Amino acid sequence: MHRIVFRWLIGALPVVFGVSALTFVLTSLVPGDPGRTILGANASPAQVAAIDKQLGLDEPLPARYWDWLTGAFHGDLGDSITSGVPVSDQLTSRLGVTLSLIGGAILVAAVAGVVLGVLSALKGGWLGRTVDGIALVGLAVPNFWFGLVLMTAFAVQLPLFPATGYVPFSESPVQWFESLVLPVLTLGVPATAPVAKQTRDGVLNQLDREYVRVLRARGIPERSVLFRHVLRNAAAPIVTVLGVVVVTLFGGTVLAETLFVMPGLGGLAVTAASTQDIPMVQGVALVFTVTVMLINLLIEVVYTMVNPKVRT
């Protein structure tokens, strides 16, 4: 286990460094000028140049990146170019929203995916075909449309949940839950499909194996065969698929946050990118990168735990 964490750390540092440098360069290539963004169309070129200088935007790119990097090492991610707000403040206030969304969606995808997958493997027939169908539809249906349908059905027609907005857990756990249901389902339900399909295939594959027949011949109860042996052996690829799903969920948060008006990091990233707010984009990219890497670490740890072969 120590070896995994150590290996992760060795790999993580260059990745974080690389992503931050790449983000910096790419953001600076976006056409436009932050000074112009701040001052508006009527500002003269001289005014724009003056404010760019004030913000240090006239410095060469490597110098600006170095400034950012040294600041980041000291825990200072700078201030937003457009609003003057410290980047870390914005990230802190928004991280909870995005993590709640992603956490909820993973939970939905994992639980529903595994249950559906196992059921379809065991029952086969129409259930199997249904899972296949759902998997296809899940991949084909745009999240955006699905989210709007959920909102119309369960917020407007049946007023069970709020149509928009986010309530922090500290303010009201019940309202926090209610505000998360629809966006989490928007993200989580389509993500269920690949998990269910992998589970079904994995379980079917295991059920065909010799050892299952042997276990059954020995009179081991079916439940035990399924949960203690089959599912455990099928778990490793499911965990891998979940890992991939989680990473794609980050992209999905941009959409879910916009649609359900939630103050998360996805929306922040989009706004910051469109205004060339480099410090803010850097901050969001850093948080996303570190989070994705932590999730990868977690996946690897779980993978090792469920797959004894990796441990040897």
Partner 1 sequence: MTSHNASARPAAPRGLHRISRVSRLGLAALTTVLSLTVAACGGGTGGTAAGSGSSSGTKVAGDTLTVAEQQSPPSMNPGRLDLGFVDFTMLSYESLFYLSPEGKVEPALAKSWKYVGTGNTELSVTLRSGVKFADGTPVTADAVKASLEYAKKAQGNQAHYLTDATITTSGDLGLIIKLAKANPILPTLLTQSYGIGQIISPKGLAAASKLTPTATSQGAGPYIYEPSDSVAGDHYTYTANPNYYDKAKQNYKKIVIKIVQNGQTAINAMKTGQVDVYKGDYTSASSAKSAGMSTVGLPVILQGLSLIDRGGEVSKPLGDVRVRQAINYAIDREAVTKALLGSSGTPTVQTVIKGGDGYSEDLADHYAYNPTKAKELLKEAGYADGFELPVLAATFVGFDTMAQAIAGQLEKVGIKVKVTAVTSITSFVENQTNRKYPAVSGGFTEAPMYLQGLDLFMPGSKVFNGFGSTSPELTELFDKAAAAEPAARADLDRQMQEYLVKNAWFAPVAFTPVNYYVRPGIGGVKVSAGAPFASPLAFYATK
Q: Which residue stretch of 5-13, 20-28, 263-271, 283-291 sits at the interface with partner 1 (rule: CB under 8 A)?
A: 263-271
Measured CA distances, 60 to 23, 27, 283, 285 (Å)? 16, 14, 20, 21
Q: How far is the CB of 267 from partner 1 (least distance, A)?
A: 7
Q: How far is the CB of 85 from partner 1 (least distance, A)?
A: 5
Identify residues 38-57 at the interface with partner 1 (CB under 8 A). 38-44, 47, 50-51
Q: How far is the CB of 188 from partner 1 (least distance, A)?
A: 19
Closer to partner 1 by Cβ: residue 189 or 262:
262
Q: Which residue stretch of 69-77, 87-95, 125-133, 228-236 sits at the interface with partner 1 (rule: CB under 8 A)?
A: 87-95
Closer to partner 1 by Cβ: residue 186 or 233:
186
Please count the residues of this chain forming the interface with partner 1, following the rule CB under 8 A. Answer: 47
Asked if 116 and 188 count as a contact pair (C-beta separation under 8 A), the reply is no
Site string for partner 1, 151-190 (x = CB under 8 A): xx--xx--x--xxxxx------------------------
Closer to partner 1 by Cβ: residue 41 or 140:
41
Type and span of the H or E element at 37 = helix 34-39
Q: How far is the CB of 154 from partner 1 (least distance, A)?
A: 11
Asked if 252 and 187 count as a contact pair (C-beta separation under 8 A), the reply is yes
Q: How far is the CB of 265 from partner 1 (least distance, A)?
A: 11
Residue 42 tokens, joined: 């009527």
Residue 268 as a binder of partner 1 (CB under 8 A): the answer is yes
Closer to partner 1 by Cβ: residue 71 or 168:
168
Residue 222 makes CB contacts below 8 A (sequence gap 6+) with 216
Closer to partner 1 by Cβ: residue 113 or 264:
264
Measured CA distances, 71 to 74, 169, 302 (Å)? 5, 31, 35
Closer to partner 1 by Cβ: residue 42 or 312:
42
Closer to partner 1 by Cβ: residue 36 or 232:
36
Handedness of CA 93, 98, 101, 104 (dihedral sign): negative
Q: How far is the CB of 296 from partner 1 (least distance, A)?
A: 29
Asked if 106 and 249 count as a contact pair (C-beta separation under 8 A), the reply is yes
CA distance 115 to 121: 10
Chain center to CA of 24: 21
Give CB contacts under 8 A, 24+ apart, made by 89-97: 90/268, 90/280, 90/283, 91/265, 91/268, 91/283, 91/284, 91/287, 93/263, 94/263, 94/264, 94/265, 94/268, 95/265, 95/287, 96/168, 96/169, 97/166, 97/257, 97/262, 97/263, 97/264, 97/265
Site string for partner 1, 271-310 (x = CB under 8 A): x--xx-----------------------------------
Contacts with partner 1, residue ranges (CB under 8 A): 30-33, 36-44, 47, 50-51, 82-86, 89-90, 93-94, 148, 151-152, 155-156, 159, 162-166, 258-263, 267-268, 271, 274-275
